[in-house]
Amino acid sequence: MATGKVKWFNNAKGYGFIRPDTGGEDLFVHYSYICMDGYRSLKAGQQVTYDEREAPKGLHAVNINVIGIDQTSTSEQETHADDSVGATELHHTIHAEAV
């Protein structure tokens, strides 16, 4: 497994790039290859481990793990997950009170 730092990651689009610690070409990263439960995201500057996979458009990082973070639950991931359902829960609560 190789190590590197997240160069940038766009949460809305679900992809970004990792700069390998050994130098060389930046690696494309897609959110589906981030190994964590819940909301999968990376932040610029995070240290990660990963495997490399050759693809038609260059190297891709797969099996990505953030160093020093519990992959099963972080408060930030829970916050994002809660945000995605918060409006629905609020709507149901208001609707139930009105009925």
Q: How many domains does the chain have?
A: 1
**pLDDT value at position 82?**
43
Owning domain of residue 55:
2-98
**pLDDT value at position 21?**
96
CATH number of the CATH domain containing 57: 2.40.50.140
**pLDDT value at position 78?**
42
Q: Write down the pTM of the prediction.
A: 0.67
Residue 93 has pLDDT above 70, yes or no: no
Nearest residue to 62 via CA among 20, 27, 37? 27
Rounded to whole angstroms, what are the CA distances from 90 to 15, 26, 78, 85?
Answer: 31, 42, 17, 9
Query: For the segment 26-80, what is each residue's pLDDT rounded down to a tens digit?
Result: 999 999 999 988 899 999 999 999 999 998 888 899 999 999 876 554 444 444 4
What single-letter DSSP state applies at residue 37? S
